[in-house]
Structure 1
Amino acid sequence: MKRLKISHILNNKDFVYALSLFVFIGFICISFYELSKAEVTVVQAGEEMTVRTHANTVEDVLNELAIDVGEHDELSHELNDLVNREMKIEHTIAKKVIVSIDGNEQTYYTTSETVEEFLTEQDIELTENDQLSLAAHTEIDDNLVIDIEKAFQVTINDAGEEQQVWTTGGSVKELLAEHDIELDELDRVEPRETASLGKSTDIEITRVEKITDIEEEKQEFSVVKRNDSSLEKGKEEIVSEGEPGVIEKHYEVVLENGKEVSRELVKEEVKEESKEKVVAVGTKVNQPKATTTASANAASDAGTKTETVSRSGSEEKGETIYMKATAYNWDCASCDGRGLTSTGYNLKENPDGVVAVDPSVIPLGTKVWVEGYGYAIARDTGGNIQGNKIDLHMSSKQKAESYGVKTVQVKIVE
């Protein structure tokens, strides 16, 4: 019985020894296995992770870490590079960027950190006049949208003075405001202010102004011829010299870019009245002695004597007078509104061939011929029609207002 116990004890010791040896060898193997691993650092999105691996290639390491490398991603090593100790693998994930240039969109993938780096990477050149929707130092985020408006030149012709300016679009009004170009009320601009700018747009500005131009014009004096019975017929004598008057004519003048394009008479004012020249015309005729022709006719019951006396004389028809002429219409402010003249003649029904006169110069009912008016009859008078003046009736107020003041020949017909 004792022998069995001793043998049993010996067998237990062998087992423990064998087991310890096995564990020791296993520990040595595991330690050697672990020590044989390479230590690799992987950097992704700014985060570092260190792993110990028996992977042979960079691709194997990334697969162990379940890291997918996209087509546009940036990797510090080739996928088939062999792993070595203390290797550092950097993986930068590409981000999607949408670039719109003048409305035309294009999609890019980049690993650049800022907008400026991205534009340089993609060879997208900008001038100082181009407009970029983001600051150059803006960090790139996934699905970032960058708007670029390319500048172009526009010619502005301002009243003949040209300048070329840069713009990225907008309206004509906005461009003019940007360059402190103001338009006055009458100025014109082509194309209109609300029009959109394009690369072929040229802006024409026409500066328009209205001014009043006052011109003085001499008014010829009228010549009045008055019959003088004390002066022999055929002779004339100047009673008083005439003096020209002065009329101020007010014109509305339109200037475009400093050049006159239209002129319209808006008002006339008599600055100095003219003084008529008075000429005495002799009408004295030396009368011949009367002659008597006697005829005696014998009659059966009585005798009668008949005497005929003849004298030489002349009519004053055909006399020409220079007179100051104005015009009026029956529908004037100072008229009675019925259209009747001072002699009761109805101008509404018969507007043509009627003149107003001073009866002391031309008796009412006289038929006259007026230069530029034609034949007429003196059927009216007026408070301002005194002396060597005549007022011509016109068929409309417009014609009367536009007639003005003129010196005309008036010929006495009958």
Structure 2
Amino acid sequence: MNKDVTLSVDGEPLAVTVWGSSVQDVLDANDIDLTDKDGVSPAAGDQVSDGDTITVRYARQLTVIADGDKQTYWTTATTLDDALAEIGLHDPDLRLSVDRSMPLGREGLTVTATSPKDVQITVDGQTISGRSAAATVADLLAEQGITVSADDRITPGADALVTAGLSVTVQRVETSEETVSERIDYQTVSTEDSNLAKGTTQEVTAGKEGEKSVVYKIVKVDGQEESRTVISESVVSEPVTREVKVGTKVTTSSGNTGAAAPAVSSGSTWDAIAQCESGGNWAINTGNGYYGGLQFSASTWAAYGGTAYAPTASQATREQQIAIAEKVQAAQGWGAWPACTAKLGLR
């Protein structure tokens, strides 16, 4: 006896008339071949009656890449949402690469799913904590409305995957140029001069610093200068070289007896007085009636025994002059050199 039944294949109903007695007979009559993954209700071996509805759902493959973990499932669901519920991925906060209501055809589907994770973002002097299902750091920043420039630094990188407990740092980078004026040091060139007493110098040309204009590239990270690199520089004025003559003439001339005098360490009080009196030139003889580093008059020099060393103080050594100066100081006090000893605070 023929029977009128409804055959529903993946939700599409079809009215058919069959002569067989089982569900399998109905499937065979309509050229429906099922695998063990497909679904049919009632079961293929069950009897069929007039007016029955036979439901067939073909299996389809669903590939889910969840937080980077790829899994493949077989399902008879005809929508993505139903399929996810069937395999236990029904969290409403789960972020999918396609819409949940998307039909699931027999050709199957691959979908990317990202679950919410605790994350932290440090940017612009503040730290933001929360949960996000963003797939990458770039997605996370966009989700939070954080814009970044090509120069800004993102740690980890923008393409890094978001993982549980991820901490993201955004550093603001500013690049600018600055032009500054800088000095150019002058050089000193010394030339020996046998006409000058040894240990004395004479400046021929005064040195003068030059000037240059320097353009720097300045990189600031979160407002703090990180680096300063020279881009270009140009000379505004050249430096002037200082030229100095250095005396090599030995002062132990025929006028010096060569008599020994006590040694005196450099930097003594007498050196300070000589610097004040004669610029530290122990052999000076300017023709003004005063001789040597401590500016002895010829009469004072002779009165205190200086001629035992040399006719005048300018012909005596530093040590010989100091030996006589100590005799003068013992007799007259520091007042023998009034201006300089006052200046030096010795009286």
With the length of structure 2 as denominator, give the TM-score of the two structures.
0.45
- Between structure 1 and structure 2, the one with the greater Rg is 1
With the length of structure 1 as denominator, give the TM-score of the two structures.
0.39
